[in-house]
Structures are given as C-alpha cells and as structure tokens.
C-alpha cells in the first residue's frame, strides 16, 4: 500500500465524513463483516430521485470505516439510479486501493457498498443479485 493511500485511509478513519445517523431517513441499512468484525450503518435521504443527505455510523477496522466515509462524500447529490449501478470497481477507484489480491481487506472495503446496494435495492423494491457484491 503506498503511503499516500494509507494516509488517506487513516485520515478518513480518524476524521470520518458524514458520521452519524439521519432521522427521518428513506434508507437505513446496516451490514456487518464477520471476517473482521466491522459494522456499517448507512442512512440516506432521497428527494426526487436524488440522494440529498447521507450519514454513516459503525465501527471496525480503518479500511471499512474510511471506505464508508469516502463513499458518503461521493453519494451526496447522486441519482438513485446511479447509486443502484455503483459497483465494486467504482468504490475501489474511489478509495484508491489495489485490494484485488487481498480478499479479507476487500470485504472490509466493500462493506459500505454492500449497505448502499442492499438499501437502495430495497428502497426501489428490486431484487439484488448477490453476485454483485462478492
């Protein structure tokens, strides 16, 4: 892991963006990663098909929490349809980590994405293809 990416992860872990919960919310989804003990709850407020507010809470390793923090910044103002299509590669690009060779870390990094996808699909009343996430 390069120093730049490691520093970014540590910075987001120490000072997470959009940390907290939303009440009321349109989506609230909690997921957990038993491999590492990470938990992420993601709350969204959706107006006219756009994500207008985002908050996350949780605990766990630096990668899981920093990934959630970076994802929340990305989600504000995003169309719900774009969020539905947001994928693994998008998230890995966003956090800038080459995690494809480390499956345990990958689960940590993708936990926030799982909360997003499960929550958004549920909001839209659609069935999520679990292959999307593994």
Please state, in angstroms and as integers, the Cα–Cα distance from residue 95 to each residue in 22, 24, 34, 130, following that order: 24, 29, 22, 22
Do 58 and 65 form a contact (C-beta atoms < 8 A)?
Answer: yes
Beta bridge partners of 39: 32, 59
- Smallest separation (angstroms) from Zn ion to the CB of 123: 26
- Smallest separation (angstroms) from Zn ion to the CB of 61: 3
Does the footprint of Zn ion cover residue 112 (CB under 5 A)? Answer: no
Which lies closer to Zn ion via its Cβ, residue 27 or residue 61? Answer: 61
- 18 class by beta-carbon count within 10 Å (0-12 exposed, 13-18 middle, 19+ buried): buried
Rounded Cα gap, residues 118 and 48, in angstroms: 20
Which lies closer to Zn ion via its Cβ, residue 46 or residue 66? Answer: 66
- Smallest separation (angstroms) from Zn ion to the CB of 80: 27
Does the footprint of Zn ion cover residue 31 (CB under 5 A)? Answer: no
Among 18, 28, 64, 72, binds Zn ion (CB under 5 A): 64
Does the footprint of Zn ion cover residue 67 (CB under 5 A)? Answer: no
Does the footprint of Zn ion cover residue 61 (CB under 5 A)? Answer: yes
Do 69 and 76 form a contact (C-beta atoms < 8 A)?
Answer: no
Q: Could you list the residues that contact Zn ion (CB under 5 A)?
A: 36, 38, 61, 64, 108
């Amino acid at each position: 892991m390069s120093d730049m990416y490691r520093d970014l992860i540590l910075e987001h872990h120490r000072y997470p963006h959009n940390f907290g919960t939303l009440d009321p919310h349109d989506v609230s989804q909690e997921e957990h990663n038993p491999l590492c003990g990470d938990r992420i709850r993601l709350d969204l407020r959706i107006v006219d098909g756009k994500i207008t507010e985002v908050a996350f809470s949780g605990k766990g390793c630096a990668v899981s929490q920093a990934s959630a923090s970076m994802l929340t910044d990305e989600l504000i103002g995003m169309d719900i349809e774009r969020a539905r299509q947001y994928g693994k590669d998008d998230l890995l690009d966003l956090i800038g980590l080459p995690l494809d060779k480390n499956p345990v870390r990958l689960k940590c990094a993708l936990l926030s994405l799982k909360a997003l996808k499960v929550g958004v699909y549920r909001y839209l009343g659609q069935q999520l293809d679990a292959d999307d996430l593994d």
